[in-house]
Structure 1
Amino acid sequence: MNSNGDNAKSIGRDIAGPASKQAIYRSATAILLLAILTGCAKAPLWQAGSLSSYDKLVPTHGHVTQANIHVDSAAVLSAKTVRIVPTTFSARATQSIAKAEDRALVTNTLDRAMCVRLSDRFEIVAENQPADLTVHAVVTNVIPTDAGAAALSTVASLGSSVVLPVGVPRLPIGLGGLSVEAEAIGKDGTQKAGIVWARGANSFANKARVSRVGDAYSLAASFGNDFSKILLIGKSPFGGGPSLPPLHRVRSGLGGQSKYAACEAFGRAPGLPGLVGGELGLPPAWTDKVPEHAVARSQVAQRGTE
Structure 2
Amino acid sequence: MPANAISNHDETGTYGPRALRPDIWSMALLLSLLAGCAAAPLDRAGSLPSYDGLTRSDGLVAHSLLRVSRDDVLAAKTVKIIPTAFSMRAESAAFTPEQRSLVTNAVDRALCSGLSERFVVVGLSEPADLTVRAVVTQVKATNATVVGVSKVASVGTSILLPNVPVPIPRIPIGMGSLSLEAEALNSQGVQRAVMIWGRGANAFLDSGTVAKEGDAYSLAAKFGGDFSKMLVKGKTPFGATPSFPSRAKLAALVGRAPKYEACKVFGKSPGVTGFAGERLGLPPAWTDKAPANVEKAASKAP
**TM bracket, shorter-chain basis:** 0.7 to 0.9
The residue correspondences of 1:217-232 to structure 2 (distance < 5 A) are: 217-232=217-232
Change (3 A) 1:37 1:44: closer
Match of 2:73 among 69, 73, 76: 76
Residues in 2 aligned to 1:93 and 1:245: alpha-carbon distance in whole angstroms: 32
Is the contact between residue 35 and residue 172 of structure 1 (CA under 8 Å) also seen in structure 2? no
Residues in 2 aligned to 1:245 and 1:278: alpha-carbon distance in whole angstroms: 21
What do residues 100-133 of structure 1 show as CA deviations (whole Å, max 9, x unaligned)? 1100000001100010011010000011111000
Give the aligned partner of residue 136 of structure 1. 133
The residue type equivalent to 2:174 in the other structure is G
Match of 2:46 among 44, 49, 57: 49
CA RMSD in angstroms comes to 2.1
1:260 aligns with 2:260: yes
Report the secondary structure of 1:292's partner residue: coil
1:93 aligns with 2:90: yes
What do residues 239-266 of structure 1 show as CA deviations (whole Å, max 9, x unaligned)? 1222111111111111111111111010
Residue 167 of structure 1 and its aligned partner are, at CA, apart by 4.0
What do residues 123-177 of structure 1 show as CA deviations (whole Å, max 9, x unaligned)? 0001111100000000000011001111111111122122232241111111100
Residue 270 of structure 1 and its aligned partner are, at CA, apart by 0.7
Residue 305 of structure 1 and its aligned partner are, at CA, apart by 8.4
Identity of aligned residues (%): 50
Is the contact between residue 105 and residue 290 of structure 2 (CA under 8 Å) also seen in structure 1? yes
What do residues 261-291 of structure 1 show as CA deviations (whole Å, max 9, x unaligned)? 1110100011111111001000000000121
Is the contact between residue 95 and residue 213 of structure 2 (CA under 8 Å) also seen in structure 1? no
Residues in 2 aligned to 1:248 and 1:65: alpha-carbon distance in whole angstroms: 25
Report the secondary structure of 1:293's partner residue: coil
Residues in 2 aligned to 1:35 and 1:186: alpha-carbon distance in whole angstroms: 42
Report the secondary structure of 1:77's partner residue: helix
Is the contact between residue 77 and residue 233 of structure 1 (CA under 8 Å) also seen in structure 2? yes
Is the contact between residue 142 and residue 215 of structure 2 (CA under 8 Å) also seen in structure 1? yes
Residues in 1 aligned to 2:78 and 2:249: alpha-carbon distance in whole angstroms: 18
Is the contact between residue 125 and residue 131 of structure 1 (CA under 8 Å) also seen in structure 2? yes
The residue correspondences of 1:266-285 to structure 2 (distance < 5 A) are: 266-285=266-285
Residue 183 of structure 1 and its aligned partner are, at CA, apart by 0.1
Residue 293 of structure 1 and its aligned partner are, at CA, apart by 2.2
Give the aligned partner of residue 196 of structure 2. 196
Residues in 2 aligned to 1:275 and 1:77: alpha-carbon distance in whole angstroms: 33
Give the aligned partner of residue 9 of structure 2. none
Change (3 A) 1:230 1:305: closer
Residues in 1 aligned to 2:37 and 2:222: alpha-carbon distance in whole angstroms: 15
Match of 1:160 among 141, 157, 160: 157
Residues in 2 aligned to 1:90 and 1:118: alpha-carbon distance in whole angstroms: 24
Structure 2, unpaired ranges of 5+? 1-28
Length-normalised TM-score, structure 1 = 0.84
Moved over 4 A (4+): 34-37
Residue 62 of structure 1 and its aligned partner are, at CA, apart by 1.5
Give the aligned length.
271
Is the contact between residue 160 and residue 167 of structure 1 (CA under 8 Å) also seen in structure 2? no
More helix by share: 1
Residue 35 of structure 1 and its aligned partner are, at CA, apart by 6.1
